[in-house]
Every structure is written in structure tokens, then in C-alpha cells.
Amino acid sequence: MSQAGGETEFVVEAATIQEMLTRLGDAHPALRPLLAKSVSVVVDGQLYRGAWQKPLREGAEIYLLPPMQGG
Amino acid sequence: MAHDGKPVAAGRKFDSVGTRPLRPDGIDKVTGRARYGADMNMPGQLIGKVLRSPHAHALIKSIDTSAAEKLPGVRAVITARDLPDLTGGDQGQMDTLVNTMARERTLYDGHAVAAVAASSASIAQAALKLIEVVYEVLPHVTDVDEAMKPDAPLVNGGVITNGVTPKPTKKSNVLIRHEFGHGNIAKGFADADIVVERSFKTEATHQGYIEPHACVANLGADGTGDMWVCTQGHYNVRAVCAAMLGLEQSKLRITASEIGGGFGGKTMLFIEPLAFALSRKANRPVKMVMSREEVFRATGPTASSSMWMKVGAKKDGRVTAAHAVIKFQGGPFGGSLVDMGAMACFACYDLPNVKTEGYDVFCNRPRAAAYRAPSAPIVTFATESVMQEIADKLGLDPVDMRLKNAAKEGTKSSYGPTYGPIGLKATLEAVKETPHWKTPVAPGKHRGRGVACGFWFNFGGNTSVSMAINADGTVALAYGNPDIGGSRASMSLMAAEELGIPYEKVRCIVADTASLGYNDTTDGSRVTFAAGLSTINAARNAIKVMCARAAKTWGISEDAVTWEKGHAKPAGANAGKFEPLSMAQIAATAQNTGGPIAGHFETFADSAGVSFGTHIADVEVDEETGKVTVLRYTVLQDAGKAIHPSYVEGQYQGGAAQGIGWALNEEYIYGKDGRLQNAGFLDYRIPVASDLPMIETVILEIPNPGHPYGVRGVGETPIVPPLGAIANAIAAATGVRMGDIPMSPPKLLKALEGRAR
Amino acid sequence: MSHVHVTTTINGDPTEFLCEADETLLDALRDRLNLTGTKEGCGSGDCGACSVTIDGRLVCSCLTLAAEAQGRSIGTIEGMAKGDKLHPLQQKFLDHAALQCGVCTPGFLVAADALLKHNPDPTETEIRYWLAGNLCRCTGYDKIVKAVTEAAADLRRA
């Protein structure tokens, strides 16, 4: 969050998760190293970690969460 | 949608799934034949032992191994010099390298400093004594609050904290600050009729698996090697050892032994890279087994924490705002999983305004590893305590108050995502139907009942499964996840269900790293879900092949063949009059119809469903000794679909028992010298049979749309509610609200005496 | 250090081995005799995973010197089944899913066998207190107690 100068919400144009991550990294280069590590992506309430090709609908709600682990 | 796009049929009747057959590894385990990590020996093996720092924090001025090297029987001695830095600047890999063996500094009591391989254990021990290490002792800190003070000794040099604006100019022990939430908590609190604010402190605990870490490593000079190891993830062992030692992954073959418990603690590596390094240097196999003391001092316990929480609610019990500040220490590298804690904290509730802040703090303690729903028991203790306090102050029934605020399908969770179909409300409503709830607390002094909810995210991940149809029509199923809780039985049930054959016809093994594509670690409650759906899909692929063979045999098109109860059949009368072919019949002619028949499936499984649970605890408090007896305990939890109900019950009971131990007695005790005082099972007291009652279980099934049979992982959630349930029961029994975990007799006595005054 | 020569009986079989004077019975069983069914969980007598019997008496083999086996009769998990016929305790543990990882199971079976020889009709409390010397981290003990109770009933009927 602080890497993006304190902003917490972003609007990005993208057709897939991979495009979204790339465009976000382009807009805020300081975020790139965080996005490159396995970030968890939540799209419209569903958690994805391996689905770069997943298509995003218009107005999709996206959350980026830290990599998560279980025990 | 299920993985194949077909929605899960509600109320589907299963033939195999949901039954309770005997597990395939059962006879070996009750006769002592099963081979665990320490039960393997390789010809010509040496025994490896580790020299560990006795200081909480120190510089290593020098290490002289010459005398040890000269001892007859010693074949190799290694220090950090034998583990060059191949991390390429990756901080995570560097932390693992340093944790495996100290470089310039030792960072906790028990940190590995050197290792020896010798022809016997007694010679190896004698060699350790001959290694001369000169330390310069540094100031240390082991408490999370102390570590955050401005004048605290800096652990491992300290760090400039991330996630804080403005960026600090001075180094501290805080690695990073996290924040989650939504809404406007100031407005939420302003709207509240009642506000409760509490502080909490929890001590670290250990997973307490009965089997210490053990491995036998064999690494040749050409980089080809194999290892037998008890681990939750042998693919991860391969990856980490290859990276650390500069080896090619394909040249390492890791075999997972039976594992005597893991609970997250065997997802990380400790002695494995050292065993390979010693083996390479000595050119002999090396066997390493940790002692119980080493397990406590130098593997990965949980974080210890300091928390503050404030919750506001209307008179009717509806929460208007929740705010938590959570501080975890997880050893000297960060990674205490405070971010998971901040996310899990309020996950059970539908909150309009919520904010959680998490601080990841360094301390001179062993590096934390995951322990069953890591972070969630700690933060849920706080949440369920405060929710109960609010319910008590408003005179509301504990279940009704939670129902009023419970997350449901469509709720925006406190950590962001919107929930799909979930089972929290179902577990709360089911509480009222249990014999436990319907029976008042047994009459007697100082007895009380507590309730608490809990949740875990559950994961999916990398999965590779292979299924071969044997010539006699039986099935050889290979998956890549060490079996901790009975998953071989569950995989076999799902394969049998999909193929339409008896469970006994399926034989399931855990394959080594050379035999399957990559598999993520057995953790995150992921195996029944991810390996399960992969097994089902591998079966579907095998079915496709078998139908094609039948079609060939009959001379009809593949679409004209259907599969039913283990047989290929013509799809309809037009397809032709052919007798159904069994798997045995199809397999018998496989070599004539195209060759051996197999199905396989590889995936990164997403759409794991979260699992919610509610626990009921009745306790009796002895006001003279502070001892708490658990009189009655019930676990209610959503399993999506219970593949093998006995093993689901087993997870519920086992997780509850660990949570009860955590709540009442387990803790890491550090002296002023920063050394661990209770590194053994006598003084690190886990529950024994006489501490617990029978643990009643209720399995609810709200199907997870992401799995063909509706499975949700269940392994972790059961450890999450007990701390809150027991704390609430103690409060009901005595009027005392404990904020300190464990709620052990000395602490409870003190609190009871304080109440009397 | 020169070795001690031990002559003993293990699960009814005459056995001889050499061991160091300070070697535990647990290590001798596992490393000298390849009887790896008995496990080391703690090495300090706190977990019961190393439970064996010496002349019928339940002990922690990690607290017993190998040399103490001289002239005595040792019983381990490997001796519980008779050929391919499981002991009722073993069968009940399987039937009741009274094991998950299974590493504590040999110790529990040896200890439960000793209990039932001593008290063929134990109450739940008696079972729990007798088995309090055996740690299990996986099951929470519920199914173990049920398995022992049923095995006891079966043995009384036999």
C-alpha cells in the first residue's frame, strides 16, 4: 500500500488477470516486486493463485492479498 | 461450477463416498511394520548430529573444527563455509539458508552452528564437543512488546519497517505493517450503543508431533542423490535442497516416509539440507534424527502475540465497527504470518466497518513455521472473547448474537473477498440441536459453558495424480501428498466412486518426486480437495480411454459408449447389442486395443471452499488450584462433503484437542537469558487421555461448488475456535475474563484472586 | 568401550545381541535388531511411544538399558499379532479409526494390552488414566478409548 504512495484503490483496464497485474505494475512500478511474488488474486469473491489467463468481466471487483499458506 | 463445469448435484447419493472402510496403511501401522522417517537405514550410513548455539543472540567470532575432524570415526564436519550463498539476492532463500546454519551470527537458542557425520551416534556426539566456537554474546529480546520498544536490542541488525508512512529513518525490529478492512470505523463506533476494548497476549506453542524430524540422505559427487524423509512436502524438500546446494532438481529423488504428525511444522526444512551437505562431503549416506529437545528449540513454533481489539455494537447485538491491532513475533526473519492473522481475525462476521492492522516483529526465537490454520487460533481467541463480552453485557444468547452477525453467502469478508455458499450459519443453528446444548451444564460450582466460531481459508494448488488400470482391472493410484490423516483412503473412495467399482479394487500410494509432476505440500487443508478432484478427473480420463477401447472392440463410435458402475456399455439400443465390458475385461485386452491404460491429471486447483466451525465447551474451574477440567466438548463444522466420515471426525477431534492444550497449558517459556526453559514433553504439557472427555462431532455438508463432490478441506478449522470457547466457558464459570494464553493454573489463580478483591 | 553381550527373549524368540553399556533398550531394538515398530518420541520417558513390556511389565524402553534385557522376556508391538491374525486391540483400532498418523499407535497398543491383562473390564476413566503415559497429538484420544473399550468387551467374551 505504501509502495503505491498511500493509494489503496486502483482502476485498471485489463481482459485477464495477467494483463491486470502487468498494467498495475506499469502504473505503479514500486508494486512490481510484490506482484511478481505469488500474490493471491481475488476476483468477484473467488480466490485465484494460478489463473493468469482467467478473463475478467467489466467492473470486476479485485483484491490482491499476500501469499497465503496453511499448516 | 465443479472443475469439469458441471454443477454439483444437491443431495447426490454416493456408493463409496461417505462410507467408513479400513484404510490401506492401517495394518502396517497397527503391527509396527510402517516405516517412518527414522525407520530407514542405508548400507554404510553415517550418523549426523548438529552443534547448536546456547545463546539467544551472538556473533560467531570463530569456529575451529580441527579436533573434531581428527576424531576416529568422523567422516565430515560442516559449517556455513560449506554452504555458499547461492541465493542470488532472494531474501526468502537467504533467511532459509541462515536458519539452516548460522553464518556471522546466531539468532536464537538452538540455532545450528556446525554439523558432523560419524560412524556412530556416540562418536558424532563426542565430535560435537570437540568443535570450538568463540561467541560474542549480544543483547537479545524474546518478547514481542519488548522488541517493539524504541530502545530494544536490534535482532539481526534490525530493519527499516515497510508499510508505514512516512518511512521510518531508524531501524527497528518491525519488518512490515499490514492493513485490511473496509468502511469507516470512526463512524461505526460513533453509531454503537456499546463498545468493548480489550488487550490480549498469547505465548508461542509447538505443533507437538510425536515423531521428531528424521531423514537419510545420499548425495554423490555428481550431484545425484536421494533422500528418505518424514515431511509434509517432499517436492518442496527437493526444491529447497536443490536451490541451497546448487543441485539440479531432476537429480534429486525424494521419497516421503510415513509421517508421524506434521500440523504444518514439517512443511519447512531444518536438517535435510545438512544431511545432503554432510553426505556429499563424506561420500556416504547420512542419517539424521532430531532429539525432542532439538525439535522444541530449533524447529518452527507458532508466533507469540500481543493484541488489542475494540468492537462496537447496537443494543440488539448487531456489530457496527471492529478494529484490531495485532503484533506477532515469528523469530528473527519476520514471516510470523501476522498478515494471515489480520485477514482471519474477523472473517466469521458480516461487518460494515472493519480495520485490522498487523505488525511482523523480529525476536531472538526460532523461526516460526505454520501450525494448523496458522495465526487463526490466536486472533480468533481475541475476537470470540470480545464478541462474547458484548453478548454478555447486552444479555444476549451467545449463539443468537453470533447468528445476528454471521457471515453468509454474499457477505463482503473483512479481508476483502465476497463469500460464496458457506456453512457458518448452519453450524450455529445446528448448535441448538445438539444433545450438548440441550443439556444444561452439569450442576456444580464454578461450571460454565462457552461457544466460539472459527474459520480457515483452505487452499488448492499444484497437484499431479496418476492412475493406472492394471491387467486384472484393479486400479493403481499414485498421488504426491504425504498422508497425514488418512488421505489414501479418501483418494481411493473418490476413485472407486467415479469408476463405479468397489473401494477394495483401488490401491493408493504416495509416489516419490521422480514419479509424478509437481505437488504442493500437504497443508492448507488442501489434499482431499485438490488431490481429490484430480483423482476424480484422472478417473474420468481413464474412463474415456476405456470407453474408446470398448468402442474399438465393438466396432462402434466412441460417443456411442457410456460408463456405468465399472463397465463400458453401449449408450442406447441403436448403438448395438453388446454385453457390458468390465474394467478387468477391457484391461485384459489392452495390449491389443492400443496399449496400457492410464489416466492422469495435473492442475493448479483454485476454488477451494472455506470451512467454518462452531465449538461448545463446558468447563469446571477449581478455584483453589486454578485447574480447568473440560467436562464436555462438541465440534460442529462444515465439511462440504465428508468423503470418509471417520477421518473427518478425527480431524475435528484432533484439532479440538490441540486447541484445548493451547488454551489451557501449552507455552514456550523463555528465561531472562533468552534460552528456552521447557524443551521437552514433561514441561511442555500437551493434553493426555485423562485431560479430555469424549469429543462429540457434528459434520455439516454445504457443498463447495468448486469440487465435483462438494469437498471442503477440514483439517485446520478445528483448532481455531477452542481458545475462545474455553475462555468463554471460564468467564461463564467464574466471571473472570482471561486475556492471556495459556489460561494455565497459576495465571487463572491470580486472576481469580484479583476478582475476589 | 567394549560391548555388552545380551541374551534375552523377544516376543517369544531367543535373541542375542551386542550393545554399548549405556545404550538404551529402545536403541538396541531399533538399531541392533531392526525391530523399528517401537518408536522414539522424546527419549525422556514422557511420551510412551517406546512402550514395551519386560516380563509382562509395561516400561519405557528409552529409560531402560539394553543390558537390562539380559535373561528377561521382552514384548514389543511386533509380537502382538499371531501370524496374520490381529490382536483384538489392533483390529478395533482399525475399525474405530483410532489412529491418524499412527506413530503413537504401537505404544498405545502395547500399553492397552498391558492394561487389559491387569484389568479386563476397565471404566472409561481407568482407561484414560492408564493411557495417560502415552501421548497422541492427532486423535484427541476419543476413538482410542472407544477402541480399547470394545476390545476389552471382545476379550471378556472370548
Q: Are residues B662 and B748 in the same domain?
A: yes
Domain end point (choices C44, C79, C114):
C79
Same domain, B652 and B740: yes
Give the residue from B543, B575, B605 where a domain finishes.
Answer: B605
Give the CATH number of the domain where residue B255 resides.
3.90.1170.50
Q: Are residues B30 and B44 in the same domain?
A: no
**Does C70 lie in the same domain as C11?**
yes
CATH classification at residue B473: 3.30.365.10
- Among C26, C44, C79, the domain-final residue is C79
Distances, alpha carbon C153 to alpha carbons B319, B443, B644, in Å: 53, 32, 26
User: Which residue, of B275, B298, B321, is where some domain finishes?
Assistant: B298
Work out the pLDDT band at A4, boundaries 50, 70, 90: very low
- What is the rounded distance in angstroms from the CA atom of residue B229 to the CA atom of residue B218? 11
Answer yes or no: do C21 and C63 share one domain. yes
Test the C interface: residue of B19, B20, B28, B29 with most C CBs within 10 Å: B29
Is B257 exposed, middle or buried, given 0-12, 13-18 or 19+ CB atoms closer than 10 A?
buried
Q: How far are the Cα atoms of B152, B155, B156, B186 from residue B138, in angstroms, in the given order?
A: 12, 9, 10, 44
- Note the pLDDT of residue B10: 57
Strand-pair category, C51-54 with C73-75: antiparallel
Checking if the pLDDT of B9 tops 80, the result is no
Q: Say if strands B740-741 and B194-202 run parallel, antiparallel, or are unpaired.
A: parallel
Which tens digits make up the pLDDT trace of C135-156?
999 999 999 999 999 999 999 9
Tens digit of each residue's pLDDT (9 = 90 or more) over B229-285: 999 999 999 999 999 999 999 999 999 999 999 999 999 999 999 999 999 999 999
In this structure, the answer to whether residues C96 and C148 fall within a common structural domain is yes
Say whether both C99 and C45 belong to one domain.
no
CB contacts under 8 A, B 22-41 vs C, are 22-23, 25-27, 29-36, 38-39, 41
Q: Give the CATH number, domain containing residue C92.
A: 1.10.150.120
With touching defined as 3 or more inter-chain CB pairs under 8 Å, the answer for chains C and A is: no
Quote the CA–CA distance of B737 and B751 in Å, as a whole number.
8
DSSP category for residue B656:
H
Mean pLDDT confidence for B331-335? 96
CA distance linking residue C92 with residue C98, whole number of Å: 8
Asked whether residue C53 falls in the same domain as residue C94, the answer is no
B494 with B547, same domain: the answer is yes
- Considering only CB atoms, B210 lies closest to which of C77, C80, C137, namely C137
Looking at the fold, whether B576 and B630 belong to one and the same domain comes out as: no
For the segment B670-692, what is each residue's pLDDT rounded down to a tens digit? Answer: 999 999 999 999 999 999 999 99
Mean pLDDT for B355-383 is 97
Is B59 exposed, middle or buried (CB count within 10 Å of its CB: 0-12, 13-18, 19+)? middle
User: To the nearest whole number, what is the mean pLDDT of chain C?
Assistant: 97
Mean pLDDT for B384-409 is 97
A65 reaches B (C-beta below 8 A): yes
Q: How far apart are CA A44 and CA C94, in angstroms?
A: 44
Is A6 close to B165, i.e. CB distance below 8 A?
A: yes
Are residues C98 and C146 both part of a single domain?
Answer: yes
Q: Which of A2, A70, A71 sits opposite B165 (nearest CB)?
A: A2
Q: What is the pLDDT of residue B499?
A: 97
One domain for residues C105 and C53? no
- How far, in Å, CA of B388 to CA of B386, rounded? 5
3-state secondary structure of B38: helix
Best B19, B23, B210 residue to mutate vs chain C (most C CBs within 10 Å): B210
B80 and B225 share one domain: yes
Render pLDDT for B726-750 as a digit per residue (tens, 0 to 9): 999 999 999 999 999 999 999 999 9
Instruction: Give mean pLDDT, residues B346-372.
Output: 97
- B654 and B582 within one domain: no
Within a domain: residue B675? yes
Please state, in angstroms and rounded to a whole number, the distance separating the CA atoms of residues B478 and B458.
23
Residue of B nearest to C42 (CA): B292
Residues B556 and B423 in one domain: no
**pLDDT value at position B281?**
97
Q: Does pLDDT of A6 surpass 50?
A: no
Domain count, chain C: 2
Nearest chain B CA: its distance from A70 CA (Å)? 4
In the listed set C49, C79, C109, which residue is the last one of a domain according to the structure?
C79
Q: Is the pLDDT confidence value at A45 over 80?
A: no
Share of chain B above pLDDT 70, in %: 98
User: In this predicted structure, which of A37-51, B91-105, B647-661 has the lowest mean pLDDT?
Assistant: A37-51
Which subunits have 3 or more CB–CB pairs within 8 Å of chain A?
Answer: B
Structural domain containing residue B737: 304-458+609-756
β-sheet with B628-638: strand ranges across: B447-456, B611-621, B628-638, B695-700
Residue B695 is nearest to which of C103, C132, C142, comparing CB atoms? C142
What number of CA atoms fall less than 13 Å from residue C133's CA on the CB side? 18
| C79 reaches B (C-beta below 8 A) | no
- Residues of chain C with confidence (pLDDT) below 70: 1
Answer yes or no: do B631 and B716 share one domain: yes
Give Dmax over CA atoms of chain A in angstroms: 36
| A44, pLDDT greater than 80 | no
Looking at chain C, which residue has its C-alpha nearest residue B27? C94
Mean pLDDT, residues B370-390 taken together: 98
Q: Give the structural domain span for C67.
A: 4-79
Interface of B with A (CB under 8 A): 162-165, 167, 178-179, 207, 263-265, 267, 337, 339-340, 343, 369-374, 415-420, 456-462, 523-526, 604, 606-608, 716
Considering the domain boundaries, does residue B643 fall inside one?
Answer: yes
Go through the domains of chain A in sequence order and give each one's CATH number: 2-65 (3.10.20.30)
Q: Which residue has better confidence, B582 or A44?
A: B582
Asked whether residue B464 falls in the same domain as residue B453, the answer is no
* pLDDT above 60 for B325: yes
Q: Which of C37, C44, C144 sits opposite B32 (nearest CB)?
A: C37
Local confidence band at B607 (pLDDT 50, 70, 90 cut-offs): confident
Q: What is the CATH number of the domain that holds C66?
A: 3.10.20.30
The confidence band for B6, taking pLDDT boundaries of 50, 70 and 90, is very low
Grid coordinates of A49:
493463485
* The pLDDT of residue B195: 98
Q: In 10 A of CB B248, how many CB atoms?
A: 9
CA angle A41, B534, B261 (to 5 degrees): 85
Residue B2 has pLDDT above 60, yes or no: no
Q: How many helices (H) and strands (E) does chain A have?
A: 2, 3
Is it the case that chain C and chain B have 3 or more CB pairs lying under 8 Å apart?
A: yes
pLDDT for the residue numbered B7: 45
Question: A36 CB near a chain B CB, below 8 Å?
Answer: no
Assign A67 a pLDDT band (cuts: 50, 70, 90).
Answer: confident
Q: Counting one residue from A and one from B, how many pairs have CB atoms under 8 Å apart?
A: 86
Pair C94, C58 in one domain:
no
Closest CA relative to residue B469, chosen from B652, B633, B597:
B597
Say how far apart CA C121 and CA C150 lie, in whole Å: 10
**Residue A33 pLDDT greater than 90, yes or no:** no
Q: Is the pLDDT of residue A9 over 90?
A: no
Contacts of B481 in chain A (CB under 8 A): none
| pLDDT tens digits along B185-196 | 999 999 999 999
Same domain, C104 and C66: no
Same domain, yes or no: C97 and C72: no
Asked whether residue B359 falls in the same domain as residue B391, the answer is: yes
Q: In this structure, are residues B609 and B640 in contact, taking their beta carbons and an 8 Å threshold?
A: yes
CA distances from B721 to B102, B403, B427, B643 (A): 37, 16, 12, 23
Q: How many domains, in total, are found in chain B?
A: 3
User: B531-579 pLDDT, tens per residue?
Assistant: 999 999 999 999 999 999 999 999 999 999 999 999 999 998 888 899 9
Are residues C93 and C70 part of one domain? no
On the question of pLDDT at B8 being above 70, the answer is no
Amino acid found at B145? D
What would the mean pLDDT of B128-133 be, rounded to a whole number? 98
pLDDT for B630 beyond 70: yes
End-to-end CA distance of chain C: 50
Greater confidence (B513 vs B423) lies with: B513
Supply the pLDDT for residue A8.
67
- Nearest CB among A47, A51, A66 relative to B417 is that of A47
Regarding whether C139 and C93 lie in a shared domain, the answer is: yes
Question: Where does the pLDDT of residue B34 fall: very low under 50, low under 70, confident under 90, or very high at 90 and above?
Answer: very high
Do B579 and B629 lie in one domain? The reply is no
Whether B187 is in a domain gets the answer: no
Angle at B529 between CA B527 and CA B530, to 5 degrees: 70
Higher-pLDDT residue of A28, B339: B339
